Amino acid sequence: MKIAVLAGDGIGPEVTREAVRVLEALGLPGLTLAYADVGGVAYKNHGHPLPAQTLEIARNSDGILFGAVGDPTCDNLERRLRPEQAILGLRKELGLFANLRPAKVFAGMEDFSALRPEVAGAIDLLIVRELNGDVYFGEKGIRTLPDGRRQGWDMMAYAEDEVRRIAHVAFKAAQGRKGKLCSVDKANVLETSQVWRDVVCEVAAHYPDVELSHMYVDNAAMQLVRSPGQFDVVVTGNLFGDILSDQASMCVGSIGLLASASLSEGTLGLYEPIHGSAPDIAGKGVANPMATVLSAAMLLRHSLGLEEPAARIEAAVAKALADGVRGADLGGSHGTVQIGDAILERL
Ligand code: IPM
Ligand code: MG
């Protein structure tokens, strides 16, 4: 069992360290860890945000534990050298097309939500975000129009096979949950979304037990704060999924609590907190490592097939929260290592 640990930038190393401590404390036989640079730190050490050796270590692992990438000192580099290209490159190179972003309110945490507690308490949803296509990976450029104005452009496109495979993931996920799937698009305006919607409807024929609905993304953003309890599984494209999952995190109470899995057609997966590198608090020891610890639990479950230790980790995090362990993100004073200790004690 080989886990590649790519801690990356900003708070990435701090939160990843705690997740590694939790993994090591489980004493899983045969577990090995391989570390590699990624993101801005990789650019600084090796001249590229996703060095060839990092990609190889990731490719040869059974699962990748990922911290975060993003470094303001790299924001003026040409785009292909920016830290963000590392995560986009890993997703594309390793065929990690299915991003699972669960959002659930932990018991007793309703008051931390930006929503009223009775609205927040009902949140238990899973966003299934397509990760290999859309405007993220279309042709793009900056050109000068004949009249001299600069124009930025990005091509949005989805081919039917790309939609079909993510739709299957989402329908199967719904079968394992409450059997409800909401597909989010912008089919009233975009042709990309029309193909998306048509293909999702075709795939639905294979899953008569799943109740399918469709929603425009603007309405979905509104419904997510109006009555998030109506959602079970949400499937959407890369760009809309990026936005809605950040929004869902605040409905839950903190972006410091949300884990994610990026899955391929095989068992290889990449697991990361959705919060990013948070450069403003990097190195201060105040970042909440819970999202990364929960990502490690997802790694054990989805890539290594180890349900029991995964559930143990999740229970330890839930217990720590129930016992009042609170990072700064939740208005508390527990630091990164202290939160790690609290989780370890409860493991
Ligand atoms: C995410 C992040 C990334 C994305 C960035 C860092 C490229 O926001 O994983 O949600 O946009 O996918
Ligand atoms: Mg994002």
Task: Out of 50, 87, 275, give the residue to mutate to test ligand 1, the one with the largest number of ligand atoms within 8 Å of its CB.
Answer: 87
Query: Ligand 1, atom 8: nearest CA belongs to which residue?
Result: 242
Residue 147 CA: distances (Å) to CA of 141, 150, 153, 171, 192: 17, 9, 16, 49, 29
Catalytic, 186? Answer yes
* Token pair 């507690």 in the structure block, residue: 117
Catalytic, 284? Answer no
pTM, 2 dp: 0.94
User: Average of pLDDT values for 254-263?
Assistant: 93
* Token pair 């860890």 in the structure block, residue: 33
What is the tens place of the pLDDT at every residue in 118-138? 999 999 999 999 999 999 999
Residues of the chain with CATH 3.40.50.2300: 110-130+158-252
For the domain made up of 1-105+255-347, give the CATH fold: Isopropylmalate Dehydrogenase (3.40.718)
Please tell me what DSSP assigns to residue 162: H
| Least confident window among 98-107, 128-137, 200-209 | 98-107
What is the tens place of the pLDDT at every residue in 15-45? 999 999 999 999 999 999 999 999 999 999 9
For the domain made up of 110-130+158-252, give the CATH fold: Rossmann fold (3.40.50)
Catalytic, 242? Answer yes
What is the tens place of the pLDDT at every residue in 44-66? 999 999 999 999 999 999 999 99
Residues of the chain with CATH 3.40.718.10: 1-105+255-347
Three-class SS state of 214: strand
With contact defined as beta carbons under 8 Å apart, do 39 and 310 qualify?
no
With contact defined as beta carbons under 8 Å apart, do 279 and 10 qualify?
yes
pLDDT attached to residue 250: 86
pLDDT attached to residue 107: 84
